[in-house]
Amino acid sequence: MASNSSSKSSYDVFLSFRGADTRPNFTSHLYAALNRKNITTFIDDSLERGEDISLTLLKVIEESKISVIIFSENYASSRWCLDELLKILECMKTMGQFVIPIFYHVDPSDVRNQTGNFGEAFAKRKERCKELSIDRVERWSNALREAANLSGWDSSNYRLESELSEEVADQILKKLYPISFSASTGLVGIDLNVKKIISLLCINPTNVQVIGIWGMGGIGKTTIAEVLVSQIFNQFDCFCFLRNVREESEKIGLLGLRSRFFSELSGVEIKIEMLHVLPTFIKDSLKRKKVLVVLDDVNDAEQLDALAVHDDDCFGLGSRIILISRDKQVLSSVDEVYEVKGLDDSDALQLLSMKAFKQKHPPMKYIELSERVQTYCKGVPLALKVLGSYLCKRTPEEWETALNKLKRFPDCNIMKVLKISYDDLDPIEKSIFLDIACFFKGYNKIWVEEILNGFDFPSHWGIIRLMDMCLITIVNNKLEMHDLIVEMGQDIARRKGNRLWNSKDICHILATANKANKAVEGLFLDMSETERVYLNPAVFSRIPNLRLLKFYWSFPWFKKEGSSFIIEHGPSKHIKSLPNKLSLLHWEEYPFKSLPLDRSLENLVHLIMPESKAEELWNGSKSLPKLKSLDLSRSVHLKKLPDFSLMTNLESIKFICCESLIEIPTSIQCLGRLNSLYLSSCKELRSLPSLKQLKFLKNLNLFYCCNLKIFPQIPRGIEEFEVRYSGLEEWSQSILFLDNLNLLRTGHFINLRSVPRIKNYNNNCFLDLIGYLNLITLPEIIGNVESLIFDGTLMEELPSSIGCHSSLVELSLVGCERLKSLPSSICKLELLKRLRLNGCSNLEELPPLYGLCSLRELYLNGTALVESPPDSFSLPLLRRLSLNNCKRLQTAVSASYIPPIKYPEGSWEDYRYVFNFCNCVNLDQTARSNIMADALRKFEELAIAINIFKEVDKEIAYFIVSLAGSKIPEWLSYESSGNSVATSLPPGCFNDMFLDFVFCAILEFEAPVVVGTLHHLYLECESSFRNSNGNKIANFGIYICDLETEYESEHVFFWYGGHHRSPLDLNDWLKQNCYHVNEASFNFEAEAICWDSNSMKRVKVKVKKCGFQLIYAKDEVNWCNRHVCGATNPDILGQLKETNSKNKRSSKGYYCSNKTSVIADGRSSYQEVETHPKRLRQNFSMENYSSNNQDKV
């Protein structure tokens, strides 16, 4: 917690400020923000202070980890503040203390130079301190100058003081706790392991290195790797932490594992068909990246081959691969192996104490007992956690009993240690534990609890008990368990013989059944592991205690034609009965026409039989009082459903794709707890009984019930309702009163001509009316609507009332060919994020869009617009503008204002921009120039934002503009015909103000190239920079997706950012060598990557022209004159002139704008245009610019 001056303890943060200036405002905000983050902060609360700083305060400064200096107008008028400043800088130099300056309503240059109001206050202080030595005053002045040069915050860049204080507090928190909390909470003895592995990794060298982390199960290998990754991941272009390799390879096979791995690493969802051959585009992409890969729990060398671990050409220079395994033999081919050993005695005792006593050290009376437990566990973290949790809140006598119990296992291993916790469970808890260990690891917690409740187990409290004993964990509401504990549980079950999952054992029992097997309680058979299962008709009568039965395919593609089950030893060809204790009956491809229910299954909770051969479930009524879910999806022979009246707890019914099902019995009305009813693709279903009585029904799906003519009566509480592609002829009045509707998907009706009035929503609603071929007017909708989709309708106009739907986030009118205009009221939709008007071929104009302040995506492909939306570049959040194939588009007005790009509200993917004017062949030259000029301004804003917000990943952020044409933008300084440009560079061009590059390429499509939704256009620029020491090569590439068009002519593509596949230090290297880099070359490549059903096709695209541009940070013109143009150095200025005269354009150079970006430019003529605060000045010749400045020097 934050602290006041009365505390004598050490502090995280020391605040130095002038109380009269900032105490009631910014300082209090910052103190509160630090307090909320539990950062211990010193703030001096005394309002009256003497002239001399106290020794106590000097000691507090020394003991603080971070000092924050809040420079305000009168800061330098305080002798106390100035002495604090001296002490803070002394601690920074001698003790490595971190110092953060904040310039609160003062200019940093005024602090640096002691000018302005700040300088006047300092001058007054000096006047009052004439008795002090000149040296003391000079030290104050130097300290102010030195502190002002430190990296800090300027309050003028923030609209609200609270925003600034929160950002400062966040940065301080990161400095104090560099490891992420998710990785570091409650960890002991990790740091030394992490440091040693980092030293083995040798991150800076450019070779690809593979490191192994080896140790026994439960020793902490994965945890160490998680902390390691949290500390070094930002030094790599991308990283992938692939967990549970052993388990996943068993579940989905090596091919599935290979597909998952390269999908995660490349960010592209792919399916790989071959174990030893990678798609070229994936390999090319990855070998340009410096990647960090962690493969957890590797147990087979074949897994390493499948994941290309030892393929030297697969990953980029500097990549690091970390393998975690219990088997040292698997790691025999790695570069280095790090063995994780047990915790030392001190750390082990601390970890045990934290689990047993919730404190770092054991109480006095437990010290000797704790040391005995710690010795017994031999430093294994998992054993310490389990035993510590087991002994928590136990008396010393109980500890002694537990330790005496351990004496029976003098040579025990971790398995036996873990079993101590199991032995302390009661019989019900043991059964729950074994069920999870053998069958339900990774399953949804609530679903498992329902099954366990079927046999009256107190499952909820049983699971809490297992969590308390550290036997299970809950991750994303799924039951997880450490591998060692799973092995321990399965070993116990194997010895008892009461739970079976081995396919050979199960097949033997199912085929013979010569004698009763009363011990078996659970049977899970993966049918992928066996070709045929032979069933004895009486088999289940010999397993009377069976509670859990599951026949399933983990690999459905391994299914054989015909039934996988064969009945032996009897003429009936049918099993005789099922155990009446079943709680779970999951039988995929059930081979019989009905279930043999001679008696009720009173414990049955889930009945799941997808793709069964059943024609009916059973005859007559059966009592299934605990049944919660019934799933017979894809049972194409199912014709008759049972009487539901004795299944009153049923909550979910799925009859998806039951193509022979004709009717639903009226007894469904008895299901008062029914929550979900899925009947999609029941093509023969002709009617539904009234569902109005089902008060708890939330989800109803009637998709593709094409013979359903009459709309059913439905309850008011429906939340999600889908009824597309049905044969409905009329609507029910119940659709008018759906109070809680969140999602309505309806459309593609041939027989319906209108949509009913829909009202009374309590929640935001997703309304999908796609495919109403006869819908001419918008239906009356009252309430909160979040999404409206009217694709493919015959509407000619939207009513002005559309502006009343203030909660609307998405509006789609794709393919509404009669739509001619939108009402001006659409600008009232301040929350609208997506507007889709593709294929509205008669839409000729749009109203002003300035009010759509939340708009992120605007799709206008194939419209009849003559002018592009005039405010598109001014919309602050617009990320995607698409005007594909707008053949009538002629003009584009330049934006009057380009808003700065703010810190993203969501992920860094908010920094992805695509502005697409493909095949807009009638754009006039002014329009093209306006588009390009506005794009440049957006490029600059994005570059500045990326450099301000250092956290942003440059591989994620990009901005692409494409339009038909064959001319390089005028503002581009360097260009060339063909696909490469080589040029000399003026000295000093890569100075501290340099931000990045903008690239341009004109592509010539020799044959029509269609790029579809799942296809990509890939542009790449390979750049090489030469200095006296050699080359520095970097690749800049980007995938352009979702440009669904057939390119009909030459197109200009220019872009900033994207998938930089370069050493992370490229910009630093360029800046460090700014006066030594003298040559650069850029080579451009382009190809279309297209997928069909079977393969990937790569089509090379010709690069006709290319070019690049350097962009710079904002600053004053004077700075530009000095540092960019070299005006203060005649030699450099001469070099610059000479270099520019040699370039293709006779006078390449640089220009800058007042309060905007500094742009490297090279036009030979001077052009005056009207200026604007956010508009660039037009460029002028380097010679004129330089000579003018020489006169001033």
CA–CA separation, 812 and 862 (whole Å): 14
Q: How many C-beta atoms surround the C-beta of residue 1175 within 10 A?
A: 19
* Residue 352: closest CA among 367, 337, 339, 340: 367
Task: Judge whether 266 and 293 are in contact, CB under 8 Å.
Answer: no
Enclosing H/E stretch for 136: helix 134-148
* Centroid of chain to Cα 10: 38
- Residues 425, 469 contacting (CB under 8 angstroms): yes
Select which of 73, 84, 429, 722 is catalytic.
84
Do 451 and 583 meet the contact criterion of CB atoms below 8 Å apart? yes
Sequence-ordered list of residues with C-beta below 8 angstroms from that of 533, at least 6 positions apart, any chain: 507, 510, 511, 525, 527, 551, 564, 565, 566
* DSSP-based three-state secondary structure for 449: helix
Pairing of strands 1079-1091, 980-984: antiparallel
Q: For 276-330, give the DSSP string.
A: S---HHHHHHHTTS-EEEEE-S---HHHHHHTTTT-TTTS-TT-EEEEEES-GGG
Alpha carbon 249 to chain centroid, angstroms: 24
- For residue 1153 the two structure tokens come to 């704008």
- Say which residue the tokens 């929160």 belong to: 166
The enclosing H or E element of 239 equals strand 238-242
CA-nearest of 1132, 1174, 1170, 1172 to 1150 is 1132
d(CA 760, CA 517): 59
Q: Do 1000 and 1080 meet the contact criterion of CB atoms below 8 Å apart?
A: no
Residue whose tokens read 């001509």: 753
Beta carbons within 8 Å of 63's beta carbon, 6+ residues apart: 10, 11
3-state secondary structure of 467: helix
Residue 1008 near residue 1023, CB atoms below 8 Å = no
Amino acid (one-letter) located at 1109: Q
The terminus-to-terminus CA distance of the chain in angstroms comes to 56
Structure tokens at 1002: 């004109």
Q: Parallel, antiparallel, or unpaired for β 765-768 and 743-745?
A: parallel
Question: Quick one: DSSP state of residue 697?
Answer: -
Kindly give the pairing relationship between strand 958-964 and strand 1051-1057: antiparallel
Distance CA 773, CA 796 (A): 12
> What's the half-sphere exposure (Cβ side, CA atoms, 13 Å) at 766?
7
Cβ contact 209:338 at 8 Å: no
The answer to whether 1052 and 1110 have CB atoms below 8 angstroms apart is no
Catalytic residue status for 602: no
Say how far apart CA 167 and CA 566 lie, in whole Å: 68
CB 435 within 8 A of CB 549: no
Q: Which two tokens stand for residue 311?
A: 């393929």
* Helix (H/G/I), strand (E/B), else coil: 80: helix
The three-point CA angle 1164-1170-1174 to 5° equals 100
H-assigned helices in 357-444? 367-377, 381-391, 396-406, 414-423, 427-435
Q: In this structure, which amino acid lies at residue 712? A: P
Catalytically annotated residues = 84
